[in-house]
Amino acid sequence: MQTTVKSVIRLSGVGLHSGQPARIAIQPASAHHGIWFRRTDVEGDNMIPARHNAVRTSPLCTLLVNEAGVSVSTVEHVMAALSGCGVLNAIVEIDGPEVPILDGSAADFVRAILKAGIRRQSVPVHAIEVLRRVAVTDGDRTAVLEPAGELEIDFRIEFADAAIGSQHKVLRLSNGTFVRELCDSRTFCRQQDVVAMHAAGKALGGSLDNAVVIDGDRVVNPGGLRHRDEAVRHKMLDALGDLALAGAPILGRYTGIRAGHEMTNRLLHALLSDPLAYRIRTLTEGECDVLPGAGLEKDVFSHL
């Protein structure tokens, strides 16, 4: 069955790139509504669809823009949390142009969603079933979707910094895997890139409280890493959030090799523009058990 949140969820913090205060309220929504953002600080056309075709080029985050030019950025972590908790319908109200970064992961969003609870709606889920391989490549970067019975993510990264190096992880996203394995993995950057980002007007709200900073073989954060392979786990978190912009759960295997937000978005465009590559499938209640978030209970994940 389709789902929404049981009650309003409120969170506040600062935007990672703008450095400006930001508050959001995740509101319940009716069946078939999907996920939308609403800019409460903007009058008129302030609704922004959480859809792949509303994404505009932004090198360090996922930026959504509606037809009136109203935008919201850095949506990937809240989208990953909603998808990973199985929430299909919601309105994310926000009082500014950027979603708060919180601790740099999706854990705070997940914790708040599980605390509020998830309400099942008496309407079946329509999923996007991948029927044949679709791929996009740009130099040494690749993103692929292939047929699979449930959502799987296979991700590989490689950095010169020894503290990251080469990392590879494969996960099936059913049965709460996102909440257990990925949601607390933080965004990361290299120390040498921080100055350049600041000079470009980016990462103005970044700190060791909301990002992992790597300097060669050293993790600058006093507390170190949450997972030995936290970097690749965070890339998988981002990929889930960006895949959620398909507008429906995906049944398929995603492979990312050095991929990022732009590559995943290009992949969704390639998939959804090819009518032979996918079909919309109405799931039975039993088939919904393979979706991310199925069967989640807040008390099961008290480690968050």
In order of 34, 100, 109, 265, the CA distances from 10 in angstroms are 19, 11, 9, 28
DSSP 203-214: -TT--TTT-EEE
Block residue for tokens 């465009």: 269
Q: Which residues are catalytic?
A: 261
> 3-state secondary structure string, 239-284?
HHHHHHHHCCCEECEEEEECCCHHHHHHHHHHHHCCCCCEEEEECC
Residue 179 phi, psi (nearest 5): -65, -40
Residue 219: helix, strand or coil by DSSP?
Answer: strand
Is 217 exposed, middle or buried (CB count within 10 Å of its CB: 0-12, 13-18, 19+)? exposed
DSSP state of 195: H
Contact by Cβ (8 Å): 241, 99: no
Q: Is the dihedral of CA 112, 114, 117, 118 positive or negative?
A: positive
